[in-house]
């Protein structure tokens, strides 16, 4: 079996082959769409919308099928669909310009409806990757909440809202906000070269904007603290030698219960 990785996003987690990567990240906690693409034609797609009560899943599928049928008509191919009741929700399959297999279900704990689907070419075998995705899929309102993608994994308190992101080959960076707290986390490639050129602590201060303040250094770990009347700031930096990357986490809050600790770096 191929090595698996975890994708965590707005309160749900799913496993996927480690060579798959996010190709589309749209929406918010209430509604959105994620596509995790393989190196070939197959991709895992997850759609979600807010729903406090269980809706009519056939109605939800109907709208989706109509959209797919329009795409098939534009491609001048026939469109076929089938559905059946499953253990988790309504299972479905469609064949048109491509094909897809999935399940649509209501998650009462997170008050959302999810479409979990694997799509690909008309001749691709989609059943095995779909089963793996569904078996690993979790969505709960528990905290801390796992956010995991592009070799960055952090456990964050509360139900933070993603506000900014930077996705480059050498740097992945995200910022979240929740009541009384701002969190930033990043993954930096080519760590060996950066540390050799600058030193771990000087690099951490420059990269995270901590020119002053207290620093604690233990081998490949750095903790930075900066006092402020308004909102103190604290940062953690871990140099992952084996993976040749740097993981950073910066938190600004006045709440002493939400000061970052190393457990936040999953």
Tens of pLDDT, residues 7-29:
999 999 999 999 999 999 999 99
Q: Which residues contact 20 (CB under 8 A, 6 or more apart)?
A: 5, 36, 37, 38, 39, 43, 44
The span from the CA of 118 to the CA of 127, in Å, is: 8
Q: What pLDDT shows up at residue 2?
A: 66
Confidence class for position 256, pLDDT limits 50, 70, 90: confident
Instruction: Kindly state the average pLDDT of the residues 130-145.
Output: 93
Give the model confidence (pLDDT) of 50-62 as tens digits. Answer: 999 999 999 999 9
- Give kind and range of the element (H or E) at residue 257: none
Which range has the worst mean pLDDT, 10-14, 138-142, 150-154, 220-224? Answer: 138-142
E-assigned strand segments in 79-111 = 80-85, 90-95, 99-107
Q: By percentage, how much of the chain surpasses pLDDT 90?
A: 89
Sign (positive/negative) of CA torsion 20, 25, 29, 30? negative
- What's the pTM value of the predicted model, to 2 decimals? 0.93
Q: By percentage, how much of the chain surpasses pLDDT 70?
A: 99
Q: What pLDDT shows up at residue 250?
A: 97
* Nearest to 237, CA basis, from 195, 211, 201: 201
Strand order in the sheet with 43-50: 21-27, 31-37, 43-50, 112-120, 99-107, 90-95, 80-85
The span from the CA of 192 to the CA of 242, in Å, is: 10
User: Does residue 1 register a pLDDT over 80?
Assistant: no
Place of tokens 């991709």: 43
């Amino acid at each position: 079996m191929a090595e698996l990785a975890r994708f965590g996003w707005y309160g749900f987690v799913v496993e996927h082959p480690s060579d798959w990567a996010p190709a589309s990240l749209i929406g918010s906690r209430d509604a959105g769409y994620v596509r995790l693409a393989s190196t070939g034609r197959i991709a895992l797609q997850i759609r979600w919308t807010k729903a406090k009560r269980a809706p009519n899943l056939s109605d939800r599928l109907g709208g989706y099928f109509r959209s797919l049928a329009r795409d098939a008509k534009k491609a001048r191919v026939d469109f076929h669909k089938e559905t059946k009741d499953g253990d988790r929700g309504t299972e479905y399959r469609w064949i048109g310009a491509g094909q897809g297999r999935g399940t649509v279900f209501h998650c009462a704990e997170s008050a959302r409806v999810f479409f979990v689907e694997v799509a690909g070419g008309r001749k691709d075998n989609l059943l095995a990757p779909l089963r793996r995705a569904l078996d690993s899929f979790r969505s709960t309102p528990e905290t801390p909440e796992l956010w995991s993608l592009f070799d960055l994994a952090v456990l964050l308190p509360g139900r933070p809202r993603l506000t900014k992101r930077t996705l480059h080959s050498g740097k992945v960076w995200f910022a979240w906000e929740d009541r009384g707290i701002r969190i930033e986390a990043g993954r930096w490639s080519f760590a060996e070269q950066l540390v050799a050129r600058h030193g771990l602590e000087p690099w951490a201060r420059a990269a995270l904007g901590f020119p002053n303040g207290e620093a604690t250094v233990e081998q490949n770990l750095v903790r930075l603290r900066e006092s402020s009347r308004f909102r103190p700031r604290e940062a953690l930096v871990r140099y992952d030698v084996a993976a040749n990357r740097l993981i950073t986490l910066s938190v600004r809050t006045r709440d002493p219960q939400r000061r970052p600790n190393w457990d936040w770096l999953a």
